[in-house]
Amino acid sequence: MHSIVFIFKRHAELTLEEFYHHYEHVHGPIARQLPGLVEYRQHPVREAGSGDGDYADKLQGYDAISTYTFESAEAAAVAWTSETGKILDDDTLRMLDVSTMITMPVTIRTVFTQS
């Protein structure tokens, strides 16, 4: 599997509510159409609180994390350069401050899942 994590901040002119609505109802449906996509997860950041550990404030100011998983690097390359990939990229530029985006290629390893 080939997974990529994006950590990002919204454009300053968007309220958090506007951003989360767009992220879920516009950006998400576009992303779901990427060819070869195996899994897509959105992780909107919530306010840190009790039980979140001592390091919860380290990424303060970031609004969400997206994880995309494809069968292979080749499948990801096809997706990003597809027509849907271009539409998604245009939407990304509309809603995110890409100058602050952190992109990390990752290996997803499930250590524990409660059945």
Mean pLDDT for the chain overall: 92
Q: Is the pTM of this model over 0.85?
A: yes
- Tens of pLDDT, residues 61-88: 899 999 999 999 999 999 999 999 999 9
Q: How confident is the model at residue 58 (pLDDT cuts 50, 70, 90)?
A: low
- Tens of pLDDT, residues 23-36: 999 999 999 999 99
For residues 66 and 40, is the Cβ–Cβ distance under 8 A? yes
51/29 Cα distance (integer angstroms): 32
32/41 Cα distance (integer angstroms): 10
Listed residue (23, 22, 18) closest to 6, CA to CA: 23
